[in-house]
Structure 1
């Protein structure tokens, strides 16, 4: 019976937001592409655009869905099919030839896009339009669909094109993020994908994310059995909502802290980080300076769960609360010390 599972769904169940992103995005992109074609008297939508929309809006991180693949893949497929039809005599076998040559052309140009095969087949089936109209409608429709995908995916919080150019990190430098500095370099990852013939299915950036997640999970496994309560600071120095800036600055100087919890009674109100003192030097009190959207954990939270929170540079410390009451705080130093002790066998 276990063998029948291979015929079931191979994909994880989608979230509601993913359904909306893909479905509404595809409808919007196709509508814009159709209107652009109609406005330039280049016809309307063709069937392969529906398949392109699936890739661009449902799996925008796939190498097959990237802008180069969408526009060049569809375009060169149409061009190859037009050439085949023009050179070879009309016959049923012309259509498979057009599709086969289109696939070769897409692979050669590193623009493999599955809907391109459908474009080649559609053109080879016969068109009454000239080369310019046929090629123009395919390229323009693909380009509009791709641009709509760029705008839609970015508005929905997803990176598209997925392979972003190198840019400044969170600190305005070109250094990789701390998580990316140790591990396989991009060239090595690309070599792995090519060795296993997976470069068309998975991008380097995608593989890097997976490798990073596996490494992080392995590190968390080394910390099994340790909770936030085991490593947190308990004798806390805190400030109230009305604590003036000068007093906050003095506490940072005298204690060498990188963060200070702000409390209202015994309940956590927010956290002030050292950088806040610099960025908001014109404020007067702790309440005006503190951050209130910091991640929180409970005393029983496994230390492994703190790794992604404290390693991405987004926060210096994580408050530990019980029913909104502050009971401790875990800093990066606490986490590094715990990991060092576990790795040393202590």
Structure 2
């Protein structure tokens, strides 16, 4: 039972730790609260406009819990949410059938985000909100995509940047430089492997390359200092074993 429990509740993502999750909780708390506070005090919109949009909660999870993810980068957050909201507003204005409009809005948002290299899962929720958010959002039209969606997203990214300066995480994320791997693996090899697997992973090609190189470096160190290497060093050389003993003068 304990083994099953450990498999079920272990971190789903490589590199995740409980302390990192606690830091993410603090970051999300501060990010959402401060974004709401700032937006509520800006004299930019009438009172009927929502101060915060629900998709921002999902954006906060990405920005503060997995800041290295390509889905959490500034252009993904701001562009993905704003563009998806624009798609949702356009679909809602064109198609009166709500279930059909909802599906087209989310599907269209994925397509446009993919083309513009700003795929961001909460963007699907922003597009859906534009369709099913009610008369208050429908009356706002395309303004909904800019206030509150774009403004919320910009503030969250700015707060994420400031927070991660303190938490010492890389945001906006840049892959760390790593020494060349002893195996001679190149980026083209990683591309071929990804194509062969046929899956999409929530990590950049550059991070994969850095991870592989770092793993190879540790593997080389282990092989050179491990028990087998020590045993090899303690064995006499083949020439020494075969050489006849020296005769006394």
Asked whether the two chains share a fold, i.e. TM above 0.5, the reply is: yes
CA–CA distance in 1 between the matches of 2:149 and 2:56? 9
Q: Quick one: higher RCO (CA 8 Å, sep 6+), 1 or 2?
A: 2
Q: Could you tell me which residue of structure 1 aligns to residue 23 of structure 2?
A: 21
189-198 vs 129-138, greater mean Cα deviation: 189-198
206-215 vs 12-21, greater mean Cα deviation: 12-21
- In the alignment, which of 63, 70, 74 is matched to residue 67 of structure 1? 74
1:162 is displaced (CA, Å) by 1.1
Structure 2 residue 157 is matched with structure 1 residue 139: no
Counterpart mapping for 1:141-290 below 5 A: 141-163=152-174, 179-180=179-180, 183-186=184-187, 188-190=189-191, 192-193=193-194, 196-198=197-199, 201-223=202-224, 224-225=226-227
C-alpha distance 84-208 of structure 1, shift in aligned 2 (>3 A): same
Runs of 4 or more consecutive aligned structure 1 residues displaced over 6 Å after TM superposition: 4-7
1:161 is displaced (CA, Å) by 1.1
Q: Alpha-carbon deviations, 1:240-282, whole Å to 9, x = none?
A: xxxxxxxxxxxxxxxxxxxxxxxxxxxxxxxxxxxxxxxxxxx
User: What's the TM-score once normalised by structure 1's chain length?
Assistant: 0.55
Contact 2:89-2:142 within 8 A present in 1 as well: no
1:92 is displaced (CA, Å) by 2.5
Contact 2:181-2:217 within 8 A present in 1 as well: no
- Largest Rg, 1 or 2: 1
Q: Alpha-carbon deviations, 1:133-187, whole Å to 9, x = none?
A: 30111111111111111111122111011126x9xxxxxxxxx66x147643445
CA RMSD of aligned residues (A): 3.1
Structure 2 residue 97 is matched with structure 1 residue 86: no
Q: Alpha-carbon deviations, 1:307-346, whole Å to 9, x = none?
A: xxxxxxxxxxxxxxxxxxxxxxxxxxxxxxx9xxxxxxxx
> Runs of 5+ in structure 2 lacking a partner?
234-249
Q: Could you tell me which residue of structure 2 aligns to residue 119 of structure 1?
A: 126
1:209 is displaced (CA, Å) by 2.9
Contact 2:113-2:120 within 8 A present in 1 as well: yes
User: What's the TM-score once normalised by structure 2's chain length?
Assistant: 0.75
Contact 1:190-1:199 within 8 A present in 2 as well: no
CA–CA distance in 1 between the matches of 2:188 and 2:74? 22
> Runs of 5+ in structure 1 lacking a partner?
167-175, 231-337, 339-346
C-alpha distance 117-202 of structure 1, shift in aligned 2 (>3 A): same
CA–CA distance in 1 between the matches of 2:160 and 2:196? 31
Higher strand share: 1
Q: Could you tell me which residue of structure 2 aligns to residue 48 of structure 1?
A: 55
Equivalenced residues, count = 218
